[in-house]
Amino acid sequence: MDFGLRNRVALVAAASKGLGRAVAEELGTEGARVVICARHESELETTRAAIASAGAEVTPVVADLSTREGVDASAHAALRRYGQIDILVTNAGGPPAGPFEQHSWEQWEQAVNLTLRSAVELTRHALPGMRERRWGRIINITSIAVKQPVDGLILSNSIRAAVTGWARTLANEVASEGVTVNNVLPGYTRTDRVMQLNAVRAKAEGVAVEEIQRRIDQQIPMRRLGDPREFAAMVAFLASDRASYITAQSIAVDGGWIRGLM
């Protein structure tokens, strides 16, 4: 299947590892010109080299997306080099785990800046050109927690839900102009973030990490964690010409974990 992504320009946030990296690799494989951003230069360079070695055109930008300066630097780098952003994939590392009493208002603000503000402000850079060309894809990586909250993740549950509300409203505003806005909800996927959360939970309960993993596997009908490439395939499809009539959706890639009907 030809996704029609050759020479499209994609900006993928938080793309040095995990789901962001998998998405950048997938879009590069489909022929998109990929701009990736992340905070850590060494990890970003490793990812850049891996994507480039597969024959894709990739531009790295060292930037902290929890700051306005980092958001601006990422978008400006893409616009300076290519003059446009056709596909925007917003993404951010998850905020700290823990119960309500554990988080100060400063931590709430940090989580808002990283997760919500980065998505809004990156879109502010990319959207005018998309509307002018009457073609664009805005894809937000959120979480299964927006449909079924995960215990112990009050920051993520709350702020990713805010991203969902913003995206759902924006989708209606731009749908007639050829721009789609969708959210993709990763379930338990084999990433550093999930491994870290498992370790935190194991320590809190005084059990082995393997026991936490066994419990999670039992919650998933497929009885396994997802692979980042499986998640990236959904993002690539939503970015494609074939997905031109899909907008305002929150699509889970979770092995059946969410128990709701919708």
Selected residue with higher pLDDT from 22 and 202: 22
For residue 202, the model assigns a pLDDT of: 84
Query: How would residue 186 be classed by pLDDT, with cut points 50, 70 and 90?
Result: very high
Q: Tell me: the pLDDT tens digits for 223-249?
A: 999 999 999 999 999 999 999 999 999
Selected residue with higher pLDDT from 27 and 196: 27
Q: Which single residue is written with the structure tokens 């974990």?
A: 257
Query: How would residue 188 be classed by pLDDT, with cut points 50, 70 and 90?
Result: very high
Over range 112-119, report the average pLDDT.
Answer: 97
For residue 196, the model assigns a pLDDT of: 82
Q: What share of the chain in percent tops pLDDT 90?
A: 85
Q: Which single residue is written with the structure tokens 């050829």?
A: 178
For residue 79, the model assigns a pLDDT of: 98
Is the sign of the CA dihedral 214, 215, 218, 219 positive or negative?
Answer: negative
Q: What share of the chain in percent tops pLDDT 70?
A: 100
Residue 250 pairs in a beta bridge with 183
Query: How would residue 122 be classed by pLDDT, with cut points 50, 70 and 90?
Result: very high
Rounded distance between C-alpha atoms, residue 75 and residue 96, angstroms:
26
For residue 144, the model assigns a pLDDT of: 95
Strand blocks (E) in 152-225: 179-186
Q: In terms of C-beta density within 10 A (0-12 exposed, 13-18 middle, 19 or more buried), how is residue 34 classed?
A: buried
pTM recorded for the entire structure: 0.94
Domains parsed from the chain with CATH numbers: 9-187+227-253 (3.40.50.720), 191-225 (no CATH)
Q: Tell me: the pLDDT tens digits for 56-102?
A: 999 999 999 999 999 999 999 999 999 999 999 999 988 888 999 99
Written as one string, the DSSP assignment of 71-127 is HHHHHHHHHHHHS--SEEEE--PPPPPB-GGG--HHHHHHHIIIIIIHHHHHHHHHH
Rounded distance between C-alpha atoms, residue 22 and residue 230, angstroms:
9
Query: How would residue 16 be classed by pLDDT, with cut points 50, 70 and 90?
Result: very high
Six-digit token string for 252: 């889970």
pLDDT at 172 over 90: yes
Q: How high is the mean pLDDT of the chain?
A: 95
